[in-house]
Amino acid sequence: MNRLSLTQAFIFLLRRDLTLVFRNRGELANPLLFFILVITLFPLAIGAIPELLARIAPGIIWVAALLAAMLSLDSIFRSDFDDGSLEQLLLSAHPMPVLVLAKVCAHWLVTGLPLLIMAPVLAEMLGMASEAQGILLLTILIGTPVLSLIGAIGVALTIGLRKGGIILSLLVLPLYVPVLIFAASAIENAALGLDVSAQINMLLAFLFLALSLSPWATAAALKMSMS
């Protein structure tokens, strides 16, 4: 099998998943609407106090992003499991980790990218310092792919369970916490004019580690779940 055929398989699967999502616009809109709704409810709940909102804005935005990503995790493999195409992917001559990576990329484009685009507007609404908004975008750009990659492992392990959503949350939430901590810390430090290189480097390390391990772990979990 040559490299071109593998590249074509990756692009074909990525395009297929994006086409399916755009045919069902609800899957595209739900995570973004949830993200916006959670953030806009905070000022109503705690009061429109600019200083308080600006101070807790990094945590609010990142908790909302984390929950929005979790909301759509099941869609990574669910449609393939329901229509039987997941079995065909497992029987494919192409390396399964590469196909998994294509599906994770599609998930990020549908969930992470809209959050990245919408985050500056919501940050401005919460009164986040302009110095911190660039770091906010950087943490979302680095951190949300990590959420998708980790979530893919959890989905693969629970794909065959009836009530897998609860178990999925229990599996992935503890693994999401370090990303949340370092991302929020980077934004807070940026707002205070402090150095953020340590937090950004940790997020990059999480991303490289997830890229190195997640596709293979997800492929193995899928084979185990489908056996």
pLDDT tens column, 124-183 = 888 888 889 999 999 999 999 999 999 999 988 888 776 667 788 888 889 999 999 999
Q: Give first-to-last CA distance, the chain, whole Å.
A: 26
Residue entry with tokens 């989905």:
155
**CB distance 179 to 146 below 8 Å:** yes
Dig out the tokens for 99 from the structure: 């196909």
Three-state SS letters, 110-149: HHHHHHHHHHHHHHHHCCCCHHHHHHHHHHHHHHHHHHHH
**CB distance 58 to 184 below 8 Å:** yes
Burial of 184 (0-12, 13-18, 19+ CB in 10 A): buried
pLDDT tens digit string along 36-54?
998 988 888 877 777 888 8
Torsion on CA atoms 56, 59, 64, 70, rounded to nearest 10:
-170
Alpha-carbon span 7 to 94, nearest angstrom: 10
Of 83, 98, 88, 224, nearest in space to 161 by CA:
224
**CB distance 46 to 121 below 8 Å:** no
Q: What is the domain partition of the chain in residue ranges?
A: 3-226
List all residues 6 or more positions away from 72 whose beta carbon is below 8 Å from its beta carbon. Answer: 27, 30, 31, 107, 110, 111
Mean pLDDT of the chain: 87
**What pTM did the predictor assign?**
0.89
Q: Is 77 helix (H, G, I), strand (E, B) or coil?
A: coil
Residue entry with tokens 């998708």:
148
| pLDDT band at residue 26 under the 50/70/90 scheme | low
What is residue 1's predicted lDDT score, i.e. its pLDDT? Answer: 41
Torsion on CA atoms 120, 125, 128, 133, rounded to nearest 10:
10
Is the pLDDT at 2 greater than 50? The verdict is no
What is residue 141's predicted lDDT score, i.e. its pLDDT? Answer: 95
User: Helix H segments across the chain?
Assistant: 3-23, 25-46, 50-71, 78-83, 85-90, 96-125, 130-158, 164-191, 197-226
pLDDT tens digit string along 187-221?
999 988 899 999 999 999 999 999 999 999 999 98
* Residue type present at position 8: Q
Alpha-carbon span 185 to 196, nearest angstrom: 8
Is the pLDDT at 104 greater than 50? The verdict is yes
